[in-house]
């Protein structure tokens, strides 16, 4: 039977009792057996409305005969039975259950994405998941849960923003600088130079167009010492879209430099997996550059707060 990894969280009511009851309900699902459960971890809320209480978070490993969509429906029913009401996004809730991994499946549907799109950079997800499923491999990033958690704990404080076109990356950096307090970041008066921008505790790099062999070559140059102060980033924010839609997007939004890079990438017979570009095996937030800029900022800011909670506090 498929091996499935779930994340559970609660920050309303008797959190521990709710999580225990959820695990019992999951174990009673048809064709399902709970194989392991992590400890419950107390964590601060990330990304939602202010004033929320502390979460308890954990992970559950199970074998199930349920197909992904069936499992998702059953889990939503358990959430509702135990008091979940879906209102504001990331708001306080008595129970949240997410499918992190379903064997090595990659599922892209409007109401279900597996692997979970934010699991790779959230400590409150990775810490309990690594307790019980460190060997499970993220099928897009190509690295185990244990390796992702180790990287998030030990990598240098570097953020890389890549993909899309130069204006996408520039706009996101400018919005992030407005979102967080000025004392956290050095002046970026020379931005968008394609060099490291130094913050007191966080370095950020605006990188080039992402697809594939060209960026792999750039990566080899990076780690071979041509840029001796560089390190593998702790987090990657990647602007991605289907390659067959990139030409039209470039025509409207791209600079001459963007077009030149894209043409070079196209000539290299790029790999079919758009996540194969640049740093594949590190925590990654993937964004669609065509999305509303406020939504992009919300997602990116929440990711930075999850990875660097002490540095990236919202400006008052």
Secondary structure (3-state) at 82:
coil
Longest dimension (CA), the chain: 59
Q: Read off φ and ψ for residue 87, nearest 5 degrees.
A: -120, -105
The structure tokens listed for 197 are 């921008």
Tokens of 74: 């059953």
Answer for the pair 43, 126: CB distance below 8 angstroms, yes or no: no
Active-site annotation holder among 15, 37, 72, 96:
96
Sheet containing 203-206, strands listed edge to edge, beginning at the edge strand earlier in sequence? 197-198, 203-206, 158-163, 235-239, 284-287
- Does the annotation mark 93 as catalytic? yes
From the list 37, 72, 93, 205, the catalytic residue is 93
First-last CA distance in the chain: 50
The span from the CA of 66 to the CA of 29, in Å, is: 9
Please confirm, yes or no, whether 98 is among the known catalytic residues: yes
Q: How many CB atoms lie within 10 A of CB 269?
A: 8
User: Which among 98, 206, 212, 258 is annotated as catalytic?
Assistant: 98
Do the Cβ atoms of 18 and 83 come closer than 8 Å? Answer: yes
- Other Cβ atoms closer than 10 A to 281: 15
Backbone angles phi, psi at 266, to 5 degrees: -60, -35
Q: Are 171 and 293 in contact (CB under 8 A)?
A: yes
**Residues that are catalytic:** 84, 93, 96, 98
């Amino acid at each position: 039977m498929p091996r499935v990894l779930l994340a559970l969280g609660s920050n309303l009511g008797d959190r521990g009792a709710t999580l225990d009851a959820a695990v019992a309900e999951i174990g009673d699902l048809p064709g399902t057996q709970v194989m392991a459960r992590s400890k419950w971890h107390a964590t601060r809320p990330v990304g939602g409305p202010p004033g929320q209480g502390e979460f308890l978070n954990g992970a559950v490993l199970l074998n199930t005969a349920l197909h992904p969509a069936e499992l998702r429906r059953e889990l939503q029913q358990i959430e509702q039975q135990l008091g979940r009401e879906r209102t504001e996004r990331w708001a306080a809730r008595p129970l949240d259950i997410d499918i992190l991994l379903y064997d090595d499946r990659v599922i892209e549907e409007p109401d279900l994405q597996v692997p979970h799109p934010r699991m790779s950079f959230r400590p409150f997800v990775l810490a309990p998941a690594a307790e019980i499923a460190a060997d499970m491999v993220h099928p897009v990033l190509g690295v185990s849960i244990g390796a992702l958690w180790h990287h998030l704990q030990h990598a240098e404080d570097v953020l890389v923003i890549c993909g899309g076109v130069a204006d996408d990356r520039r706009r996101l950096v400018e919005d992030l600088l407005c979102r967080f307090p000025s004392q956290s970041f050095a002046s970026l008066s020379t931005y968008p130079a394609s060099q490291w921008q130094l913050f007191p505790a966080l370095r950020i790099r605006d990188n080039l167009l992402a697809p594939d062999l060209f960026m792999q070559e750039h990566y080899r140059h990076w780690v071979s010492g041509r840029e001796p102060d560089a390190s593998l980033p702790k987090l990657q924010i990647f602007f991605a879209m289907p390659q067959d839609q990139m030409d039209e997007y470039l025509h409207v939004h791209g600079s001459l430099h963007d077009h030149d890079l894209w043409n070079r990438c196209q000539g290299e017979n790029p790999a079919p997996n758009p996540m194969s570009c640049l740093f594949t095996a590190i925590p990654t937030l993937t964004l669609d550059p065509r999305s509303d800029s406020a939504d992009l900022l919300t997602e990116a800011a929440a990711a930075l707060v999850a990875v660097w909670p002490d540095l990236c506090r919202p400006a008052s």
